[in-house]
Amino acid sequence: GEPILNYLEFDNPNVYFVVEMSSQQLEDFEGQVDYALFTSFFADHMDYHGGMQAYIEAKVNLFKNAKLTIYNGDDEIVMDILKSHGVLARKAQKYGLSFNADSCSVFLNKLEFLKASDVLLAGAHNMKNMLLVLALMVELSLDVNRVQKVLHRFSGLEHRMQVVSRAPMIVNDSASVTPESTLACLQAYSNVGPRVIILSGMDRGYDYSILNSVLTTDDIVCVSRDLSEKVIEQINVCKVMQFDSLEKSVLYALGLDDVTVLFSPGAPSYNQFKNFYERGEWFLDLLNR
């Protein structure tokens, strides 16, 4: 949310700037970056870019302008995108790193280096992101043991699978603006049922049926007016409840006993809020009333 230009005063040869760029920014990006990390890929912003191919081209524009791109060699979608666009990139596995799905652990030189149970961030996707961070640290010849300690205590950013209560378990995932991000949240909290999942936001034509694979019959999906018709049609594994407003949906979820509440809207917030930050703050304020 802050312009990179605000930080130019700190620029010197010993400083690295870590920047997340949107596909809109990348569409006509002609600069150069030293290192780019390609974490994952799924469809988004189709209304802005007009189609999948244009969205991919915008993303790839970053990697075409990077001196070195690092990616997870186990991600076939990412690998195919890079290959089909002629982008030379390096697998994190080249640095002696690997991800074990069974144990949800990152290995370095065949030794377990990071365990999901030892970090505060939940979900396999976060462990895979850490894999790329560690690869970059090795590339920069930094002390990975110090980085390991930081990753152990890093609790994440506000509104991104932010645990705001543990008894009952309430998660503020307002940053979830696609079904895929809600899917990741459901996977991260797969053993804390029954769950109430709150969906809401602007309909961008997304496919919510992908959530069926991780929902159970004990779950409840609460959906407010803008998305209700699509969600009711596409989700068939669990009970789906329709509400006139997001506030009524949230208040219903908070009024239930012995459930985990996942505020993971799965859609952009622009029809009601300035951005997902504002939506997340609204959710936190509602909890404190």
Residue type, 35: Y
Strand, helix or coil for residue 199: strand
Q: Say how far apart CA 272 and CA 65 lie, in whole Å.
A: 36
Place of tokens 């030293």: 34
In the block, residue with structure tokens 């990390």 = 37
By CB atoms closer than 10 A (0-12, 13-18, 19+), residue 53 is exposed
Q: Of the candidates 183, 129, 189, 192, which has an alpha carbon nearest to the alpha carbon of residue 156?
A: 129
Element (H, E) at 222: strand 220-224
Q: How far apart are CA 182 and CA 177, in angstroms?
A: 8
The answer, as to whether pTM is greater than 0.95, is no
The list of the chain residues with pLDDT below 50 reads: none
Place of tokens 């790193």: 97
Q: φ and ψ at 182, to 5 degrees? A: -65, -40
Q: What tens digit of pLDDT does each residue of 70-110 get?
A: 999 999 999 999 999 999 999 999 999 999 999 999 999 99
Position 88 scores a pLDDT of 93
Q: Which amino acid is at 159?
A: H
For the stretch 196-235, pLDDT in tens is 999 999 988 889 999 999 999 999 999 998 888 889 999 9
Residue 189 one-letter amino acid: Y
Q: Which residue has the tokens 């952009």?
A: 268
Give how far the C-alpha of residue 59 lies from the chain's centroid of Cα atoms, to the nearest Å.
Answer: 16
- Calculate helix-pair angle for 76-84, 52-64, nearest 10 degrees: 80
The residues, ordered by sequence, that sit 6+ positions from 266 with a Cβ below 8 Å of its Cβ are 176, 177, 178, 179, 181, 182, 199, 201, 206, 208, 211, 227
As given in the structure block, the two tokens for residue 161 are: 């699978």
What's the CA gap between 23 and 106, in Å, rounded? Answer: 29
Determine the Cα–Cα distance for residues 101 and 284; give it in Å rounded to an integer. Answer: 33
Half-sphere exposure of 49 (CA within 13 A, CB side): 20
Residue 23 has a CB neighbour count (10 Å cut-off) of 19
Instruction: Classify burial at 251, counting beta carbons within 10 Å of its beta carbon; exposed 0-12, middle 13-18, buried 19 or more.
Output: middle
Residues 55/49, Cβ–Cβ less than 8 Å: yes
Distance CA 200, CA 273 (A): 11
Runs of H (alpha helix) within the chain: 23-26, 46-49, 52-64, 76-84, 124-139, 144-153, 179-188, 225-234, 246-254, 276-287
